[in-house]
Amino acid sequence: MVVEDQPDLLVVDSGLPSDTFNKVARARFADSAADRRIENAIRHFRAVKRPFAWWVGPGSRPLDLEVRLVAHGLEAAESELGMSMELAELGPMPAAPRELEIQRAASPREIADLAAVFAANWDPPDEAALTFYQSATAVLLEASCPMILFVGYLGGAPVSCSELFMDRVPGGVAGVYSVATRREDRNRGIGSAMTWVALNEARRQGFSTAALQSSEAGRGVYTRLGFAPCCNFTEYTLAISAAPTGQNRP
């Protein structure tokens, strides 16, 4: 994996053929440098023939970044609602199946269980997700890792997952990610419970604010937990006609 963390841009190339794990984000370009920096980032992924997603949010600069991305051959592929909440307002754990057991992923087997649930979001399951978590297992199990992963089990079988990312900088926010439940076990309150467990851990760790990105389908779940809309994010990918050969977007 290659991560270029620069003051005006973050580029993550996982080495996998999946725009789930290849990202460009946090653009803070000066107007005069924007087109050159955009072209350099796109050129990297063209050269390695891997798909990627460029995330645009409320802090992205310049203000016409989206227009510039389209001019460079990208297109809007997906939009998500940014939501936040004050953890002091977190209520009791929502109702879920009594047999649901939620565990912190603390072993390679449990991380593999989480990966299997997350990969099942795609049909067929995304092999890149399985590979990513397998490769990252050692890092994810380190005590210093800022991510905490949770797996939900029914009858011993993994059915749901969630991730908590803890930003320890002053004024840092706890982020909730990768909330997923197998299709056959949805609409039972499991996803809400998995989200609540991550939020409760963030509160226990001393965070006061949590944030996440929600699909339209998940907005009601997060609203009931106490989240409120605060911004929007848009994902840009290479247009089909401009995509590198071999692109395999899950």
> How confident is the model at residue 3, as a pLDDT?
96
Q: For residue 244, is pLDDT > 70?
A: no
The domains found in the chain, sorted by start residue, are 2-80+233-242 (3.30.1370), 91-225 (3.40.630.30)
Please give the model's pTM, rounded to 2 decimal places. 0.91
Mean pLDDT of the chain: 94
User: Residue 246: pLDDT band by 50, 70, 90 thresholds?
Assistant: very low
Which own/partner contact pairs does 36-41 have at CB distance under 8 Å and 24+ positions apart? Answer: 37/8, 37/9, 38/68, 38/69, 38/72, 39/72, 41/9, 41/11
Q: What whole-number distance in Å separates Cα of residue 22 and Cα of residue 133?
A: 14
pLDDT digits (tens, 9 = 90+) for 30-61: 999 999 999 999 999 999 999 999 999 999 99
Percentage of the chain with pLDDT > 90? 91
- Cα–Cα distances (Å) from 25 to 77, 184, 210, in that order, read 15, 34, 20
- Cα–Cα distances (Å) from 21 to 15, 82, 110, 205, 236, in that order, read 9, 19, 20, 27, 14
Higher pLDDT, 16 or 215: 16
Closest CA to 87 of 160, 231, 195: 195
